[in-house]
Amino acid sequence: MQSCPIKTRFAPSPTGLMHLGNLRTALFNLLLARGPAGGCFVLRIEDTDRERSSAWAATALMQELLWLGLDWDEGPQRAGPGGPWRQSERAALYAELYPRLEQSRQAYPCFCSDRELQYQREAQLAARQPPRYLGTCRRLTDAEIRARRGRGERPTLRFRVPAGRTVVYSDLVRGEQHAATDEFGDFIIRRADASAAFLFCNAVDDALMGITHVLRGEDHLANTPRQLLLLEALGLRAPRYGHLPMIVGLDGAPLAKRHGSRSVAALREAGYLPGALLNYLARLGHAYGDIGLQGLKELAYAFEVQRIGRSPAHFDPQQLDYWQQQAVADAPAAVLETWLGGARVPAEQRRRFVEVLRANVRFPNELQDWAERIYGSLPPPDESAREILRGAGAEFFETALHLVDEDGGLSLQRLRQVTGLRGRSLFLPLRLALTGEPHGPELAGLLMLMSPQRLRERLRRAGELARTR
Ligand code: GLU
């Protein structure tokens, strides 16, 4: 293990596609680790829930992280000590720790069946009490335990929560927190099939991996005092915890598809650039001030835990698209060229094409539409376009047609001189004639993309349309 003054981690459960919520958690942890003080970012795969976890999801998660440039210093696919990094491969490490708690009676076997527990929970809820384990197996004698094991019953292992204490800790985001231990029941740390339970392996691994700071979703807030007690009982060092407010839709409800939220994979497929997602998410619940589009390194240098907000962060798809626009403006031309795919842009014009169009597109499909518009065929004009063409008059297009030069294409300056037109009355009909659209990229750039033959063809067509009623 490297020695790191700050060591953070992302600990996803590989149960499905990565969403914006867990991506933001990963990003905040990475930004905290890569600040000026220097540190390490660890990736740990929490796959102890065998039914819901899959190797496929773990691989997909790692691919998404790498696509976004969120590479980890320690974790799967990295050489070096400190692993294994998948919890499913750490059973032996956990098995060494349980006896410590059993011998000191800080943990005890529990034989309650799922049905009994369910029944207790329902009764408590009906009585408007918070559901918690009632301690049925807390006082079983060694003889009773032996007898029940002898009958083939397989117990879970529960942590004995000390009575009458208040756990106090300072949350990195929410400040000082107090939790009375009498309010939570003893909790399971090993399942009946001998696999480690979440509360246990999640806390233990943070300690064993030397994690110093944990930023995670507020949905884990109730786990923290329990995990602090557990680590204390094991004599292991706890990280500092910080709980991030949830991401909600603009209506304040938990983030869902209807708010425009999609999986990271779906956003990637739609053409969102890593820089757009990172810049947007870095600001979702963290105040950066007015610093514009930044790389990860700059975002990390300006990241401060004190700047994380305490109220829910509202996901706004328009803001995400704003950052997409910034990222497109900043993207290397080669990246935008890949957006063209099989579009019919001549090879020698691809670079120029993306440079002319970059200010007008945000996504690959928009760039491809422009390629079709410029190099393919134009859709029939609607009535308002026809009106503008008629207003300009067939003569205007004939004049332009005659100015098309075999070597230099069409010079806007010459057209201005010859027709005496300028501004909108010159550009609008010309733009409509050449692209069928009233808006679009700068005309001079557009003219450079069109061969004299295509220019003539489109001007001729516009002239004909101007003549028809
Ligand atoms: N595997 C847990 C989750 O995905 C990790 C919680 C934590 O970050 O501590 O929610």
Which atom of ligand 1 is closest in space to residue 206's alpha carbon? 9
C-alpha of residue 84 to centroid of ligand 1, in Å: 17
Q: Give the pLDDT band (50/70/90) at residue 359.
A: very high
Q: For position 334, what pLDDT does the model report? A: 98
Q: Which helix (H) or strand (E) holds 39?
A: strand 39-43
Cβ(243) – ligand 1 distance below 6 Å: no
Are the beta carbons of 23 and 68 closer than 8 angstroms? yes
Based on its alpha-carbon atoms, the radius of gyration of the chain, rounded to whole angstroms, reads: 31
C-alpha of residue 419 to centroid of ligand 1, in Å: 68
Are the beta carbons of 247 and 259 closer than 8 angstroms? no
Report d(CA 244, CA 27) in Å as an integer. 12
Instruction: Find where tokens 């309010």 sit.
Output: 183
Report d(CA 160, CA 89) in Å as an integer. 26
CATH number for the domain including 211?
3.40.50.620
Cβ(202) – ligand 1 distance below 6 Å: yes
Are the beta carbons of 307 and 288 closer than 8 angstroms? yes
Cβ(13) – ligand 1 distance below 6 Å: yes
Q: For position 260, what pLDDT does the model report? A: 83
C-alpha of residue 199 to centroid of ligand 1, in Å: 10
Cβ(220) – ligand 1 distance below 6 Å: yes
Which atom of ligand 1 is closest in space to residue 216's alpha carbon? 8
Q: Give the pLDDT band (50/70/90) at residue 114.
A: very high
Q: Is residue 433 part of a domain?
A: yes
**CB under 8 Å to 36, separation ≥6 — which residues?**
301
Q: Among 46, 209, 228, 230, which residue has the most ligand 1 atoms within 8 Å of its CB, making it the best to mutate?
A: 46
Cβ(12) – ligand 1 distance below 6 Å: yes
> Residue 1 pLDDT more than 70?
no
Q: For position 79, what pLDDT does the model report? A: 80
Are the beta carbons of 417 and 454 closer than 8 angstroms? no
Q: For position 408, what pLDDT does the model report? A: 85
C-alpha of residue 12 to centroid of ligand 1, in Å: 6
Q: For position 243, what pLDDT does the model report? A: 98
Task: Single out the residue in 244, 268, 290 at which a domain terminates.
Answer: 244
C-alpha of residue 13 to centroid of ligand 1, in Å: 7
Q: Global pTM?
A: 0.93
| CA-closest residue to ligand 1 atom 8 | 216
Q: For position 81, what pLDDT does the model report? A: 83
Are the beta carbons of 375 and 348 closer than 8 angstroms? no
Backbone φ and ψ for 271, nearest 5 degrees, come out as 105, 5
- Give the largest CA-CA distance in the chain: 107
Q: Which domain holds residue 459?
A: 383-467
Q: What average pLDDT does the structure give for the chain? A: 96
pLDDT digits (tens, 9 = 90+) for 174-213: 999 999 999 999 999 999 999 999 999 999 999 999 999 9
Q: Is residue 445 part of a domain?
A: yes
Q: Is residue 361 part of a domain?
A: no
Instruction: Find where tokens 């915890």 sit.
Output: 241
Cβ(191) – ligand 1 distance below 6 Å: no
- Please choose, from the candidates 257, 194, 199, 262, the residue with its C-alpha nearest in 3D space to the C-alpha of residue 233: 199
Question: What percentage of the chain reaches a pLDDT higher than 70?
Answer: 100
Q: Among 13, 172, 218, which residue has the most ligand 1 atoms within 8 Å of its CB, making it the best to mutate?
A: 13
Question: How many CB atoms sit inside 10 A of residue 306's CB?
Answer: 8
> Which two three-digit tokens encode residue 63?
């691919």
Q: Among 216, 243, 244, which residue has the most ligand 1 atoms within 8 Å of its CB, making it the best to mutate?
A: 216
Q: Is residue 459 part of a domain?
A: yes
Instruction: Find where tokens 């996803």 sit.
Output: 12
> Which two three-digit tokens encode residue 219?
């949905």
> Which two three-digit tokens encode residue 92?
């032996």
> Residue 370 pLDDT more than 60?
yes
Q: Is residue 270 part of a domain?
A: no
Length of the chain, please? 469
Instruction: Find where tokens 């067509």 sit.
Output: 461
> Which two three-digit tokens encode residue 85?
């990094």
Report d(CA 96, CA 75) in Å as an integer. 22
| CA-closest residue to ligand 1 atom 4 | 12
Q: Is residue 232 part of a domain?
A: yes
Which atom of ligand 1 is closest in space to residue 12's alpha carbon? 4
> Which two three-digit tokens encode residue 349?
């014009």
C-alpha of residue 269 to centroid of ligand 1, in Å: 26
**CA 427 remoteness from chain centre:** 42
Are the beta carbons of 42 and 26 closer than 8 angstroms? no
Average pLDDT over residues 242-249: 96
Backbone φ and ψ for 154, nearest 5 degrees, come out as -110, 110
Q: Among 8, 44, 220, 230, which residue has the most ligand 1 atoms within 8 Å of its CB, making it the best to mutate?
A: 220
**Range in 21-35, 75-89, 263-277 the model is least confident about:** 75-89
pLDDT digits (tens, 9 = 90+) for 301-338: 999 999 999 999 999 999 999 999 999 999 999 999 99
Q: Give the pLDDT band (50/70/90) at residue 256.
A: confident
Q: Is residue 100 part of a domain?
A: yes
Cβ(29) – ligand 1 distance below 6 Å: no
Cβ(224) – ligand 1 distance below 6 Å: no
C-alpha of residue 69 to centroid of ligand 1, in Å: 21
How many structural domains are present in the chain? Answer: 2
Which atom of ligand 1 is closest in space to residue 202's alpha carbon? 9
Task: Single out the residue in 201, 225, 244 at which a domain terminates.
Answer: 244
Q: For position 2, what pLDDT does the model report? A: 53
Task: Single out the residue in 198, 218, 244 at which a domain terminates.
Answer: 244
| CA-closest residue to ligand 1 atom 5 | 11
C-alpha of residue 345 to centroid of ligand 1, in Å: 46
Q: Among 87, 202, 218, which residue has the most ligand 1 atoms within 8 Å of its CB, making it the best to mutate?
A: 202
Between the alpha carbon of residue 78 and those of residues 48, 152, 201, the distances in Å are: 21, 42, 21
**Strand extents, DSSP E, 361-420:** none
Are the beta carbons of 358 and 336 closer than 8 angstroms? yes
CATH number for the domain including 441?
1.10.10.350
Q: Give the pLDDT band (50/70/90) at residue 58.
A: very high
Packed helices 394-403 and 412-419: angle between N→C axes, nearest 10 degrees: 130
Report d(CA 240, CA 227) in Å as an integer. 11
Q: For position 7, what pLDDT does the model report? A: 97
Q: Is residue 46 part of a domain?
A: no
Cβ(441) – ligand 1 distance below 6 Å: no
Report d(CA 153, CA 146) in Å as an integer. 10
Q: For the range 351-357, what are the long-range contacts, defined as Cβ-Cβ under 8 Å and sequence gap of 24 or more?
A: 352/448, 352/449, 353/449, 355/445, 356/441, 356/442, 356/445, 356/446, 356/448, 356/449, 357/441
Q: For position 295, what pLDDT does the model report? A: 98
